[in-house]
């Protein structure tokens, strides 16, 4: 819980400062108590999903801008910070600059390697492994994933998928860039 408190504190303070908002102004805009905001920025308290959504809306940012810590492109399931409340939520991946995102449900049969030629420039794949184990990614930097892990990589290079052990199942998000822009994988917090 300390990691999520630290992440929320750093992101909240930075976003509020970037918008030139006082604690009072953000409290009024979000319907959150000023004392609650002060505790959150001091890495205290226990923020709920509902409170963080209210703050994100008031700041004009997505939920992930408050809770997602800067990270590499491979995120282990156990490292995803979760926030509780009426529901529990954790940001698995963020996609920026995409004109289109397709969600694919993909099964990788055991003993079969799926090799892929490069996709067009700027295409990024986000792989959420839901079952089994999988080796995935660019041919020169594959990563072994366990169920719940997330991998994001630029897919405009040769890449492959191979189930490890038995079959594997994944949700694959294909992010196609806006016309004329490149869309790097973004799992960072801001």
pTM, two decimals, is 0.64
Report the pLDDT value the prediction gives residue 182, as an integer from 0 to 100.
42
Domains of the chain are 2-67 (1.10.260.40), 74-190 (2.60.120.10)
Average pLDDT by consecutive 10-residue portion of the chain (190 residues)?
Answer: 78 90 94 93 87 88 76 67 70 75 88 88 92 96 95 93 94 81 40
Please work out, in degrees rounded to the nearest 5, the angle formed at the alpha carbon of residue 81 by the alpha carbons of 167 and 40: 170
Give the long-range contacts of residues 141-146, CB within 8 A, separation 24 or more: 143/74, 145/74, 146/76, 146/77
């Amino acid at each position: 819980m300390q990691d999520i408190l630290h992440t929320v504190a750093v992101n909240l303070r930075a976003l509020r400062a970037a918008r030139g908002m006082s604690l009072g102004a953000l409290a009024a805009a979000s319907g959150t108590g000023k004392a609650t905001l002060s505790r959150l920025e001091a890495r205290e308290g226990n923020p709920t999903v509902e409170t963080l959504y209210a703050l994100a809306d008031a700041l004009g940012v997505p939920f992930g801008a408050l809770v997602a810590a800067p990270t590499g492109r491979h995120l282990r399931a156990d490292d995803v910070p979760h926030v509780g409340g009426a529901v529990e939520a954790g940001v698995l991946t963020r996609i920026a600059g995409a004109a289109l995102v397709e969600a694919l449900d993909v099964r990788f049969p055991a003993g079969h390697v799926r090799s892929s030629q490069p996709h067009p420039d700027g295409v990024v794949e986000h792989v959420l492994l839901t079952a089994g184990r999988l080796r995935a990614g660019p041919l020169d930097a594959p990563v072994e994933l366990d169920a719940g892990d997330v991998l994001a990589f630029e897919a405009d290079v040769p890449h492959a998928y191979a189930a490890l052990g038995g079959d594997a199942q994944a949700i694959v998000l294909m992010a196609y860039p806006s016309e004329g822009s490149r869309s790097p994988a973004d799992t960072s917090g801001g």
